[in-house]
Structure 1
C-alpha cells in the first residue's frame, strides 16, 4: 500500500531547503525525473523488487495506484509531499501540470526484468 511522507523542510527569507536523508525508507540506487509531459499517462507498471519515492518538485501531477485489493488516487502538488510506492503497487502518473517535474528515487538500478506491465484488473474498470 502506498504511503505519503511529509519531507522535512527549512524555510527562511532566502528560500526553502527540503531534506531527503533518513526519511526515505530504502537505500537509493537510482534517481530520475520526468518532465515536459503532454497529456500522456506514464508508468502503467509495478515491480518485482523496486520500491520508489515520487516527489513532484515543481508543478503537480496525479498518481493512481492499484495494489490488487484497492485503488487509490494521490495528488502530488508540493515538493514536501513524497509518495512511497512498493513493488506490488501498479501505478500510473497523469494530469501533469505544464511545469511539472516529477523526481523519482528508486531502491534498485534499472532492470527491464523487474517490470510487470500486466494490471491487476482492466484499466477501464478503474
Structure 2
C-alpha cells in the first residue's frame, strides 16, 4: 500500500515526490502490496523495465498529462528529473519507496547495477505523442 501522505522528499513544489511503499517482512521474505485505491491516481497500465546493463540509460522524456509511480524492484537506479528549469536527482534501491512523478516532469533513469528492475504504474495509456523529449 502506498501512503498518500507519507513522503520524505518532495521536488518541484510537489510535482514529484518520494512516497513510502510499506511492506511486510518475515522469515520467508518481503511482500510489498500496491493498493491502487491508495494512489493519488487510477492506474491505467503497468510495465517493467529490465535487462538494462549497468550504466544503461532509459527514459529521457516526460509526459504532458498524467502521473506515474516508479518503483525499483531490484538493484539500484538513479533518477534525474527536470521541471521548469530546476533539476533534482535521487536513487531508488528498494520497493520500500516509490517516486511519484506528475505531468511535465522530465525523467531519465540510469541503471547503476546490472539486473535492476523498474516497475512503473501509469495513469495514462501509452502515447509517444504525449512525450516531452527535451528537459524542461
How far off is 1:29 after superposition?
0.6
| Stretch deviating more after TM superposition (3-12 or 15-24) | 15-24
Task: Tell me how far apart the structure 2 counterparts of residues 78 and 40 of structure 1 sit (CA, whole Å).
Answer: 18
What runs of 5+ residues in structure 2 fail to find an aligned partner? 1-14
**1:8 corresponding residue in structure 2:** 22
Aligned to 1:56: 72
Structure with the bigger RCO (C-alpha within 8 Å, sep 6+) is 1
Secondary structure of the residue that 2:56 maps to in structure 1?
coil
- Equivalenced residue count is 120
Structure 1 unaligned spans of 5+? 121-126
Report SS of the residue matched to 1:19.
Answer: coil
Q: Which residue of 12, 28, 39 maps to 1:24?
A: 39
Query: Do 2:104 and 2:132's aligned partners in 1 also have CA atoms closer than 8 Å?
Result: no
**TM-score after normalising by structure 1:** 0.88
Shift of the alpha carbon at 1:96? 3.1
The range that moved more, 106-115 or 22-31, is: 22-31
In the superposition, the TM-score normalised over structure 2's length comes to 0.82
* Residue pairs, 1:34-53, within 5 angstroms: 34-38=49-53, 39-53=55-69
Equivalent residue in structure 1 for 2:86, among 50, 55, 70: 70
- How far residue 79 of structure 1 moved from its aligned partner, in angstroms, is 1.1
Deviations along 1:25-71, one digit per CA (max 9) or x if unpaired, are: 11011111111112332111111113110000011101010011421
After the TM superposition, which segments of 4 or more aligned residues of structure 1 sit over 3 Å from their partners? none
Q: Contact (CA 8 Å) 1:60, 1:100: kept in 2 or not?
A: yes
